[in-house]
Amino acid sequence: MERRASETARTEALRAEQAHVSMLYDRLDTVRERAERALGEEYARGTPGGTHQARFERDVSSHEYARRVTQLSGVERGLCFGRVDDTGGDTYYIGRVGLRDAHDELVLIDWRAPAARPFYTATPGDPGPLVRRRHLHTRGRTVVDLDDEVFDLARMSEPDRRTLVGEAALMAALRRGRTGRMGDVVATIQTEQDQVIRSGLPGALVVQGGPGTGKTVAALHRAAYLLYAHRETLQRRGVLVVGPNALYLRYIGHVLPSLGETDVVLTTAGELYPGVRATASDEPGAAAVKGDLRMVEVIKGAVRDRQRVPSGDLEVLIDVKTSLRDGVEVVVERMALRVDHATCVRARERARAVRGPHNVARKLFVDSALTALALDEARQLDQPLDEEDLRYAKAALWRMASVRTALNDLWPPLTPERLVAELLADPGLLASAAGSHLGPGELAALARPAGAPWTTGDVPLLDEAAELLGEDSSAARAAERAARRARRDDELYAQGVLEIADVTEMLDARALADRHDSGGTALTTAERAARDRHWVYGHVIVDEAQELSAMAWRTVMRRIPTRSLTVVGDVAQTGSAAGARSWGEMLDPYLKGRWREARLLVNYRTPAEIMEVAADVLKAVAPDQEPPTSVRDGEAPPRALRVRRADLPRALPELVMSELAEVGEGRTAVLTPDARHREIAALVPDAASALTADALDSPAVVLTVTQSKGLEFDSVVVVAPEEILTQSPKGGQDLYVAITRATRRLTVIHEGELPSVLARLA
Ligand SMILES: Nc1ncnc2c1ncn2[C@@H]1O[C@H](COP(=O)(O)OP(=O)(O)OP(=O)(O)O)[C@@H](O)[C@H]1O
């Protein structure tokens, strides 16, 4: 009887919520159609080209409409997911975007708006103004379930009391099988995560938390929140999210669009230097040296070494007379110009004294050398030179190939790519550049053959070199002057457009001019920022930040002089030999202790039984670190299987098959020591690997532990833990990472004795 009554109440509540949600989708359709129509009209307003003014107007408004259409399309799934009833008797609905009805009444509150905050912060102990929080679960546009948390039953109306329904929304969310892509958690953000998400924009926030505590998910929601709360600042300068590798970026790539945000640059630490996409990684020895701050001095040394003077006097042969013979120009007289050693040294010191970048100072060196050569030429020809003659003589000399070659040999124009590639491939150059800064073992670790692919550890070296080399700027300066003139015109014009169109809320004149600066192709802020090494972002989020070396932090900090940063990671998971042992060690050189730390302590991913195994490993390798507490129990106890290496080809595929059957729609990952990935991947040919396009979508995947950083799988099979433990000085941390990728099941396959840190599985 009672059961029937509660069923009826549930149906009643579902019906009422469905009516509201259907109204919201109708409204979404209407605004989306309106934006699409406006966009279509913008496109129809003329063929490409047209007047400057027409092009500009079209670019600006079409970009805004396109953004709005993308935003409204991204929020279709789970448009409305929450409702709150407050003590004043009011009810609000919370969703991915804010919507108003035809009478301009707010019918859906954006989850990032201050009014939505109680939905995330209310707890039974501190409910704030809430009487009830309700989660709405939808499939497509249909409301399929509801969860209620009641904070004050006494204040609820009788009909509302009757319709109370639910089971904890968080648990329902956590039990879902893994799809291979991270999803947003906007409906179930927890209070401590909410504090991270809404922490102020200025300054640096470090989010330290164990595996599965929602650091990544909180950081991405923070990006969306900051773009909402500080749209003006951040849309112009952009938000940069740095992740560990391309696979990981694909894994998290859906979260921001599902929250209606696309204006974020997602990149890896290997791509921070525009034009280079480094994917290879260094051996631990090389990684440790490349990531060390002593490399600043080594790169400085490498640049200085390229500013040479000859050991004796400089001698250059020039052609003074040529004549035509059978239509071919032949040299009839040559002259040797000479500049004495001391003058060469003075020319170099003068150029160095301006402390400009190498390619800029080079002009000064070339100028001094040309003056000395021209004076010698005049002396030999016994021709007096006035200032005008001197200028002419220098220009004539610079046109001669022999002069250019000689001077370029002494002070070559250099790109960062050339400097670093030549440095690492030439033990002599390397030893000279390093001086006393590196020992013989470190030099040997750095050396590599010419033509080797760029590694992630090279990127900070390239960035450092770019700072020291600068660009040959005379042409660039002229272009900049012209651009500044055009930009002033654009700004004045943009101001006019704003006044006419009254769109001041969306963009300011500078942002409009910025858009237009891109040559009419309306690049987004994100696109322009990603191409420009000098771009200064409005906010930078670094995920898996414990893996960044001290050198990599220099590269990141150059992109954010305001130090408006979110640093997300776990120093207990550091796998890179050059990574962080503590946050202070990495950040204090830039932040001088001025950073705030938030700690996340609850693991939403790994069940308690598996986390106990991980905790044993952590205790052995980093006894000062606390493992997080799991929020739920598992379905199957973790286990260890001993399989002789010779039997692995038969046993592993069988195990993967049975795990796939266990997890149904979920995903299974085989995690291997770095050195054995190829061999083990070959044993499971149907599984994807990090290099295949379906790495995230395939039911089974074989990855190295390093590649699995930040990811998660329903079932994890760790192969050869004994080798993972010894593969690098951080092997223990690697094993900890591997174990904590599991959301439901863990199997460890060991070939020899079970390592003592896994004794719990014996
Ligand atoms: N509030 C939440 N509601 C629902 N799911 C959540 C919540 N917080 C975290 N999760 C889920 O927990 C899992 C772990 O989150 P996430 O990957 O962000 O953790 P992490 O701290 O970055 O982990 P790691 O350090 O291991 O990379 C994800 O599946 C995420 O969706």
pLDDT tens-digit series, residues 601-628: 999 999 999 999 999 999 998 898 889 9
Q: What is the pLDDT of residue 539?
A: 95
pLDDT over threshold 90, residue 318: yes
Kindly state if the Cβ of 188 falls inside 6 Å of ligand 1. Answer: yes
Chain-centroid distance of CA 177 in Å reads 27
End-to-end CA gap in the chain: 51
Amino acid of residue 444: A
Q: pLDDT digits over 112-157, tens only?
A: 999 999 998 887 778 888 888 898 989 999 999 888 887 776 666 6
Segment 491-508 mean pLDDT: 40
Q: Is 665 helix (H, G, I), strand (E, B) or coil?
A: coil
> Which band of pLDDT confidence, cut at 50, 70 and 90, is reported for residue 55?
low
Q: Looking at residue 708, what is its pLDDT?
A: 92
Evaluate: CB of 173 within 6 angstroms of ligand 1: yes
Structure tokens that stand for 151 in this block: 């904070």
Residues with Cβ < 8 Å from 558, sequence gap 6 or more?
A: 463, 467
Nearest atom of ligand 1 to the alpha carbon of 193: 1
Q: What is the distance between the alpha carbons of residues 53 and 63, in angstroms, rounded to a whole number?
A: 15
Pocket probe mutation, ligand 1, options 188, 194, 216, max atoms within 8 Å of Cβ: 216
Residue 463 in this model has a pLDDT that exceeds 90: yes
CA dihedral 419, 421, 423, 424 (to 10 degrees): 160
Q: Which amino acid is at 28?
A: L
Indicate whether 494 pLDDT > 60.
no
Q: Is the CB of 570 under 6 A from ligand 1?
A: yes
The answer, yes or no, to whether residue 507 has pLDDT greater than 70, is no
- What is the per-residue pLDDT across 56-68, written as a single tens digit (0 to 9) for each? 666 666 777 777 8
Query: What is the structure's pLDDT at 250?
Result: 84
> Is pLDDT of 410 > 90?
yes
Question: What does pLDDT average to over the chain?
Answer: 86
SS3 label, residue 17: helix
Instruction: Out of 336-340, 433-437, 487-491, pick the least confident.
Output: 487-491
Residue 584 known to bind ligand: no
d(CA 574, CA 550): 13
3-state secondary structure 257-276: HHCCCCCEEEEEHHHCCCCC
Mutate to test the pocket of ligand 1, among 171, 176, 185 (most ligand atoms within 8 A of CB): 185
* Minimum-distance ligand 1 atom for the alpha carbon of 573: 25
Res. 501: pLDDT tops 50: no
Q: pLDDT: is 153 or 709 the higher one?
A: 709
Q: Is the pLDDT of residue 174 over 80?
A: no
pTM metric for this prediction: 0.80
**CB contact at 8 A, 725 and 732:** yes
For residue 189, give the ligand 1 atom closest to its CA. 1
Q: How far is the CA of 626 from the centre of ligand 1 (A)?
A: 18
Contact 331, 322 (CB under 8 A): yes
Q: Is the pLDDT assigned to residue 377 strictly greater than 90? A: yes
pLDDT confidence of residue 16: 93
Q: Is the pLDDT of residue 712 over 90?
A: yes
Strands 99-100 vs 106-110: parallel, antiparallel or unpaired:
antiparallel
Q: Is 714 in the pocket of ligand 1 (CB under 6 A)?
A: no
